[in-house]
């Protein structure tokens, strides 16, 4: 990471000391960057992915920098897994102040040839998983009369993308879900916002053919793919107590792609 003035780390500076953040899909990519940034801001981080082995690198990065992190294995699409993790995190840390629903998958293909399982897997992980974690964590947040829920959507959920009918539907669903839950929970001090990344360099986009990557880059006004840290910066601000008057919003972090 580039250094700012005086050797301090560059980027958004918020104080999350004493806060507990649960981040799904924390094993790599955007989720790892979010977990690392929240921990660097003082939060204790509970990272979720399908395997504990997958989470090790994230946990080690946080602990090596002096932060606090624990890993939890769960499939976000399975209600029993989600409730078990939330119970374990609450038992360990006594609270959950911040929930980042970041876990996501793609199973791309043209709609006319899309198989049922490709549709269902994407909807279950990206949309149902967001619902399950929000519901499970929302109970404690209501009790505490404080919470920050940040859901990771995609520009595909705003403007569509050929070959991603399932993914775009799931991500548009996350937006409608978030706007509704923002209204339901606002009076309890809980904010719910959506971050919609454009093209970000991770395993998910590495799979794209080079020709497509070059074409996409030409359509991005900023002329580069985003980094996971570009997304983590905004998530960190939305996770902070300072962002209490910001709820029900969708913010695209996409280099101007949807401007
Ligand atoms: P990634 O590198 O493929 O990582 C996906 C993460 O989700 C991994 O940590 C993975 O963990 C976890 N995950 C997937 N299915 C899961 C499940 N059923 N239960 C628990 N964890 C699960 O993806 P990424 O690019 O960082 O994307 C992160 C989020 O940003 C996703 O929601 C994605 O849709 C969104 N997004 C990405 C881009 C982009 O350009 N990269 C653009 C727009 C939006 P394990 O595999 O270890 O279980």
**Percent of the chain surpassing pLDDT 70:** 96
Q: Does the beta carbon of 30 sit less than 6 angstroms from any atom of ligand 1?
A: yes
pLDDT for position 174:
99
pLDDT tens, 215-229?
999 999 999 999 999
Residue of 75, 104, 136 to test ligand 1 pocket, by largest number of atoms within 8 Å of CB: 104
Assess whether the C-beta atom of 154 lies below 6 angstroms from ligand 1: yes
pLDDT single digits (tens) 220-257: 999 999 999 999 999 999 999 999 999 999 999 999 99
Q: Give buried/exposed letters for 17-41 (b at 16+ CB in 10 A, else e).
A: eebbbbbbbbbbbbbbbbbbbbbbb
- Tens-digit pLDDT profile for residues 144-176: 999 999 999 999 999 999 999 999 999 999 999
CA distance 179 to 71: 29
Q: Is 55 helix (H, G, I), strand (E, B) or coil?
A: helix
- What's domain 16-253's architecture? 3-Layer(aba) Sandwich (3.40)
pLDDT digits over 57-70, tens only? Answer: 999 999 999 999 99
Express each pLDDT in 32-78 by its tens digit: 999 999 999 999 999 999 999 999 999 999 999 999 999 999 999 99
Q: Is 31 in the pocket of ligand 1 (CB under 6 A)?
A: yes
Q: Is the CB of 58 under 6 A from ligand 1?
A: no
Q: Locate the ligand 1 atom nearest the alpha carbon of residue 155 and give its number.
A: 43
């Amino acid at each position: 990471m580039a250094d700012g003035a005086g050797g301090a780390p560059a980027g958004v500076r918020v104080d999350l000391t004493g806060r507990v953040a649960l981040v799904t899909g924390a094993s790599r990519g955007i989720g790892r960057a979010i977990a690392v940034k929240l921990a660097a801001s003082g939060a204790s981080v509970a990272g979720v992915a399908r395997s504990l082995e997958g989470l090790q690198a994230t946990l080690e990065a946080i602990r090596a920098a002096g932060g606090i992190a624990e890993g939890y294995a769960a499939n976000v699409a399975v209600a029993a897994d989600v409730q078990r993790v939330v119970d374990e995190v609450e038992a360990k840390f006594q609270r959950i102040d911040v929930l980042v629903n970041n876990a996501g998958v793609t199973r791309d293909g043209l709609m006319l040839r899309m198989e049922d399982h490709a549709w269902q897997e994407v909807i279950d992980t990206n949309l149902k998983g967001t619902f399950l974690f929000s519901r499970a964590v929302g109970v404690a947040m209501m009790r505490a009369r404080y919470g920050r829920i940040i859901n990771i959507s995609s520009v595909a959920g705003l403007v569509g993308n050929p070959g991603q009918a399932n993914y775009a539907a799931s991500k548009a669903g996350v937006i409608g879900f978030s706007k509704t839950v923002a209204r339901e929970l606002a009076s309890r001090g809980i904010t719910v916002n959506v971050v919609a990344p454009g093209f970000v360099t991770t395993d998910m986009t590495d799979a794209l053919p080079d020709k497509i990557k070059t074409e996409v880059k030409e359509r991005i006004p900023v002329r580069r793919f985003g980094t996971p840290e570009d997304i983590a910066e905004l998530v960190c601000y939305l996770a902070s107590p300072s962002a209490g008057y910001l709820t029900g919003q969708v913010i695209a972090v996409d280099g101007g792609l949807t401007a």
